[in-house]
Structures are given as C-alpha cells and as structure tokens.
Structure 1
Amino acid sequence: MLHRRGPEIQLDPAAKALLVIGLHADRRWVEERARAAGMKVVFVDPEALDNARHSHPHLAFRDTAVEAATDADLVVLATEWPQYTRGAQLPAVLAEVMRERTVVDIRNAVDAAPWLDGGWTLHQLGRPTRKR
C-alpha cells in the first residue's frame, strides 16, 4: 500500500515495475514503498536527468518516458512539466507499453481528462480516486 503524503493506493501483489516521472523530493515516499514491495523503480526527468545520473548512480534512469514505462505497472508523476501533465499524447503512448493503466499525480498537476478518457485510474492528493 502507498499512502504517506499521498493518496492511499493498494499495490497489486503481482506489480513488478514503477515509472517515476520527475525527481521532485515528494517522489521518495512512493519509491521507498515500491522498493519494499519488490518493485523495480525507473526514473525519467526532462531537466534533471544528467545531474541525477551523477548524484544518484544507484538509481535506474531512462532517457524517455516510453523507454522507462515499458512493462511498468504504475506511473508516478512527480513533476509539473507540461509535456507530462497536459494533453493526450503521454497517456496514449504510455498505455501502449505499460502492463497496467494506473497513474499517481503527487503534484496535482495533471489534466485529468486525457488520462481518464484513456482508461487510466487516476490517484491525486486530496481527491478521490477516479476512473472511467
């Protein structure tokens, strides 16, 4: 279960991989719980990737969200960058490569409609879980 400083989320015991988009400090609570559940955690960030690779060499990084999302069960959005929070392109592309359609928006920055229209379950801070 994931819930400290974020929405309460029941992790599927079969879940194997988590994608974290953004290196905001709030992502640490999700990362810790996912690792404790035995999940592989992969990161991508449009601005901080080069520095993060040097400062956190023990973490798994990928250059693109699609590359990082391949076979993931859950995506955590820990950024407010518009290429990840606005528009329908990201939810549609990630749906093609991920095993499950679950997104946790820990910054409350996501335009919910494209995710929900794409069949995703959306968890956000202080809001009820939504899905269509």
Structure 2
Amino acid sequence: MNVNTEFFNIIRNRSLTAMSCFWLNADYVKCVHASGEHFSGYNAVIQSWQLAFNWEQGVDFQVRDVRARVLTDMAWVTMKTFVDMDSGPFNMTNIFEFHHGRWYLVHHHSSVMLLADADMEHQIVHG
C-alpha cells in the first residue's frame, strides 16, 4: 500500500508539515509510539511527532512482512520494523480512512522495543 510507504518516507525526512497533512484532523485519531506513550486527538498526535522529530536522531530502519487489508473506506497495515537486525523487529499497525479522495492515517501503534543490557533494559524510541 503506497500510503504506508509514504508514512515511512515522512519519518525518514522528519517532515512535520507532511506528517500534519498525513493524519486525519479528527478528535478520534490515536498514536502509540514505541516509547509506550499514547496520544489521542489530532493536536496531541502531531505534537508527539514534533517531539519525536526534534528528539530522535535520524533512524535507518527496514520494514518487512507488510500485510494490508483494504476495504471501501478503511484499510489497515501490519508490519515488522527493524532498526537493528540483531535486536529483532518491533511490530507496527497503521489504520487509514478514506476521505475526500485520499487516505488519511487515523491510528498508529508501535510495540515497545526493549533491548537487554548487562545492567538494565533500555527502551528504544522510534515511530
């Protein structure tokens, strides 16, 4: 699904303007980042991406095992995202709605990725 590829290109380019246009401007949109933080409503979701783009360094990741289901006005995509092939994937789900001739993201959910360290576990925050 090309719209899902566009989502990852926006993240790679760290474009808040593009991300703002990509999400449906609605109170019911939701975003769960890999940090485990949950954001509801358009303004909160976009602010979360602003923080992510400002805080995170550029991320080189690979998306694999992409599965899409498309209905008339709704679609969902599941995938595995690898930041480091040795640490394994974290899972993502994106849900889109079709409005006014185009697809908009309405829900993004990323699993929390934990890496074991000799002393403690560290969370990696992406997406």
Mark the structure with the bigger radius of gyration.
Answer: 2
Q: Name the structure where strand makes up a greater proportion of residues.
A: 2
The alignment's TM-score, normalised by the length of structure 2, stands at 0.24
TM-score w.r.t. length of structure 1: 0.23
Higher helix fraction (1 or 2): 1
